Amino acid sequence: AQTVTQSQPEMSVQEAETVTLSCTYDTSESDYYLFWYKQPPSRQMILVIRQEAYKQQNATENRFSVNFQKAAKSFSLKISDSQLGDAAMYFCAYIDNDMRFGAGTRLTVKP
Amino acid sequence: DAGITQSPRHKVTETGTPVTLRCHQTENHRYMYWYRQDPGHGLRLIHYSYGVKDTDKGEVSDGYSVSRSKTEDFLLTLESATSSQTSVYFCATGLGQSLLGYTFGSGTRLTVV
């Protein structure tokens, strides 16, 4: 059973605009790690951002930030000032014993 | 990632034939993983290894076996390939439960005809 849910199979954003990708997960652990990976057409898995579950402060990496709501088991990714190079498949994942992935969201960036 | 090499990058094989995919790492990571990626499913864990000769099953292990005789190498074998095993296979390495996450190879696209 899928323990990571990405409810948006596809998303589209205008260049320079902001987009938010949603992710919810299910774990009984109290300490775990959350990740967003980007997969461009090259197939490479690129780590975008990461968050420790016991840290309240939301992680930020340049134009990428997360909204982590531990009680709701929600971990959304916000991309600001979207660029053409952001177009890719995005996977939400968490590690408790091993890394579990969502089904992915395909992001299109329109010029 | 230059630290993980998967071979081959592409392979077409016939139903019923054995297939071995190779993963080689220079990261010196203790843990190694094999995932398969299919549309609508994301990446699903097949098998993993937590040390030389120490392996365990993942979520979708049926029809697959693995071996790890050296820290650097992790082999995935399909004993008798089926069309349902057509997929993209990723090797990953890591330090286990860690904020560092996993490092991934560039994947092997396997087609079983």
Per-residue pLDDT tens over the stretch B53-87: 999 999 999 999 999 999 999 999 999 999 999 99
Residue B98 predicted with pLDDT over 80: yes
Give pLDDT, residue B26: 96
Is the sign of the CA dihedral B28, A46, A5, B98 positive or negative?
A: positive
Q: Is B112:B81 a contact under the CB 8 Å cutoff?
A: yes
Residue B101 and residue A33: Cβ atoms within 8 Å?
A: yes
Residue A2: pLDDT over 90? no
> What CATH number has the domain bearing residue B76?
2.60.40.10
Contact B105, B89 (CB under 8 A): no
Min Cα distance A17 → chain B (Å) is 26
Is A98 an interface residue toward B (CB < 8 Å)?
yes
Smallest CA–CA distance from B100 into chain A, residue:
A50
Of A35, A52, A101, the CB nearest to B42: A101
The reported pLDDT for the residue numbered B2 is: 61
In this structure, the strands spanning A60-61 and A46-52 are unpaired
Q: Do B45 and A98 touch (CB under 8 A)?
A: yes
Name every chain A residue with its beta carbon within 8 A of the beta carbon of B104.
44-45
Q: Which residues are CB-contacts of A68 (< 8 A; sequence separation ≥ 6)?
A: A34, A51, A53, A58, A59, A74, A75
Tell whether A32 is within 8 A of chain B (Cβ).
Answer: yes
Cα–Cα distances in angstroms (integers) from residue B23 to residues A34, A53, A56, B36, B43, in the given order: 25, 31, 37, 14, 17
Residues of B in contact with A95 (CB under 8 A): 97-98, 101
In whole angstroms, what is the distance from residue B63 CA to residue B12 CA?
A: 17
Determine the pLDDT at residue B1: 47
Average pLDDT over residues A86-93: 98
| CA dihedral angle for residue A55, residue A61, residue A63, residue A65, rounded to 10 degrees | -20
What residues make up the domain containing B73?
4-112
The minimal CB distance from A99 to the residues B40, B41, B102 is found for B102
Put simply, the answer to whether A43 touches B107 (Cβ < 8 Å) is yes
Q: Give how far B99 is from chain A: nearest CA, Å.
A: 6
Domains held by chain B: number: 1
pLDDT > 90 in chain B, percent = 90
For residue range A16-42, list pLDDT tens digits in order.
Answer: 999 999 999 998 888 899 999 999 999
Q: Does residue A15 have a pLDDT over 60?
A: yes
What is chain B's mean pLDDT, rounded? 95
CATH architecture of A4-94: Sandwich (2.60)
The residue type of A63 is R
| CA B3 and chain centroid, separation | 15
Partners of B44 on chain A (C-beta within 8 Å) are 101
CB atoms within 10 A of CB A62: 9
Question: Among all chains, which residue has been given the structure tokens 């220079």?
Answer: B26
User: In chain B, what percentage of residues exceed pLDDT 70?
Assistant: 98
The DSSP call for residue B3 is T
* Contact of B98 with A33, CB cutoff 8 Å: yes
- CA distance readout (Å), A76 to A9, B14, B27: 14, 42, 30
Task: Kindly state the average pLDDT of the residues A49-69.
Answer: 95
The radius of gyration computed from the CA coordinates of chain B, to the nearest angstrom, equals 13
Residue A1 has pLDDT above 60, yes or no: no
Mean pLDDT for the stretch of residues A65-78: 96
